[in-house]
Structure 1
Amino acid sequence: MNGVHDMGGMHGFGPIEREANEPRFHHDWERRVFAIRVASPIPIPGGSRHNIEQMTPTDYLNTSYYEKWLQSRLKGFVDAGVITAEELEARMAEFRDNPNAQVPRRAAPEQVAATMTRLLSWNSPRREVDITPRFVVGNAVQVCNIHPPNHTRLPRYVRGKPGVVARYYGTYDLQDTMPEGVETPVEPLYAVRFDGRVLWGDAADANSVVYLDMWESYLQSV
């Protein structure tokens, strides 16, 4: 999907400010949003990333990281039928009228323990399937100039550009959002090396290169 969220290669947003000893969360509400994101058992129709990409450009550029997460979850809960837009608005109005009201809390130690176990464990996302990769390290490739209507991991600034396969990772689930009813395909995944001058022209630093992880369906032979 093309939109303001695809910010790779764009100019005019200023430097990225690095905060010394930056905390995991700057506000308590961010902790709650994170907990909602990782602990809620409710599947989000279309996926969380796709919901974020549905935000208007103004809202997207003027919201923080966790505000985007919150907007995505709220839209997802409405889309899933868990709450209605009217119920959400009524609840928000209660807190606007009573900003010091206590937020309801519910003890759920078993759910907390299960969530923590899942967060602290790690399973490789690599899929052991019998797929022969089309490319090998050293192959010259060109990125397909495609414009998927849903969420995609293919950056806009690299579409149509030539590169060289630098590494083969194995097979993984394609992380693009698929149409409803279509299973996520498993594809070979590569690291592709791009010359900075190819991407940025004469403005690129001398000898600069960019490595991008790319699924096989993003690439074609040169």
Structure 2
Amino acid sequence: MSRVHDMGGRFGDGPVKPEPQDAPVFAEEWHARALAITLACGALGQWNIDTSRHARERLAPLDYTRFSYYEKWLAGLASLLVEKQVLSAEDLAGAAAAAGDGTGAEGVAPHPLAARALKAADVAAALAKGGPADRPSAIAPSFAPGDAVRCRRPGGNRLVEGGHTRLPTYAVGATGHILWLHGSHVLPDSAAHGLGEAPEPLYAVVFPADALWSHTEHPGDEVVLDLWQSYLEPV
């Protein structure tokens, strides 16, 4: 069973409406702040990008459908901060606001992660560095460009029930061919749950649109998905 976020190609949600090319990067000022605080909290090193994605996926279905994009980010972040014991629910509610700023001022001990706080002067370098996920792996590639492959059925995370995966439901059981081998990368299904990086080969796989959906507006279109080796099987 997929979560509410796994909605790619689902019928009945209305058309996708791209924003104009001249649209501002952030529609509201607080959107930029939401992105900034999410990146700053990620720099504390208490979770990885896959853990963060899974936190947003785990939002209650009612919240997920009614929240805007950056509201989902903030809600997922709040969950992580409490789950990883970086802050308490009382902290997020502002109950501890009168006790000081957590930096050691006013007799309050600094937060254990204070030394890892992302300083303004370090932001540009941190963004330029990014978070590369390519890793060496003992798992040899099983496929080469041009090989026909099928996305495994059933889909879902095979390590954790209901866990994070990057195999979308609409591709489960679909047949395509290998376009490119990206090398070996961290497996999200493992990394999102603290089970280790488990790197394995990652491929760009091309699917005809009519292999994914029964009624396609343009049957000649193709969809390219980046998929890990354990998501695939030979045809």
Alpha-carbon distance in 2 for matches of 1:72, 1:203: 34
Q: How far does residue 195 in structure 1 lie from its aligned partner after superposition?
A: 1.9
Task: Determine whether 1:147 maps to 2:156.
Answer: yes
Q: Which residue of 2 aligns with 1:161?
A: 174
Question: Identity over aligned residues, as a percent?
Answer: 37
What is the TM-score of this pair, normalised by structure 2? Answer: 0.77
For the aligned residue pairs, the C-alpha RMSD in angstroms reads: 2.7
Match of 1:137 among 128, 131, 145: 145
Task: Determine whether 1:200 maps to 2:204.
Answer: no
Alignment: residue pair count: 207
Q: 1:31 to 1:196 in 2, by over 3 A?
A: closer
CA contact (8 A) 2:5 2:57 kept: yes
Q: 1:130 to 1:81 in 2, by over 3 A?
A: closer
Q: Which residue of 2 aligns with 1:106?
A: none
2:135 maps to amino acid: R
Q: Which residue of 1 aligns with 2:36?
A: 35
Q: Which residue of 2 aligns with 1:121?
A: 129
CA contact (8 A) 1:38 1:115 kept: no
2:165 maps to amino acid: T
Residues 11-47 of structure 1: per-residue CA shift (max 9 Å, x gap): 2222233333221222222222111111121524981
**What SS is found at the alignment partner of 2:149?**
strand
Alpha-carbon distance in 2 for matches of 1:81, 1:150: 21
Q: 1:190 to 1:180 in 2, by over 3 A?
A: closer
CA contact (8 A) 1:196 1:204 kept: no
Q: Which residue of 2 aligns with 1:12?
A: 12
My pick for the range that moved more, 116-125 or 70-79, is 116-125
What stretches of structure 1 of length at least 5 have no aligned partner?
92-108
Which aligned pairs between 1:1-222 and structure 2 lie closer than 5 A? 2-20=2-20, 21-40=22-41, 41=44, 43-44=46-47, 47-90=51-94, 111-121=119-129, 125-129=133-137, 131-145=139-153, 146-148=155-157, 149-178=162-191, 180-222=193-235
Alpha-carbon distance in 2 for matches of 1:171, 1:115: 28
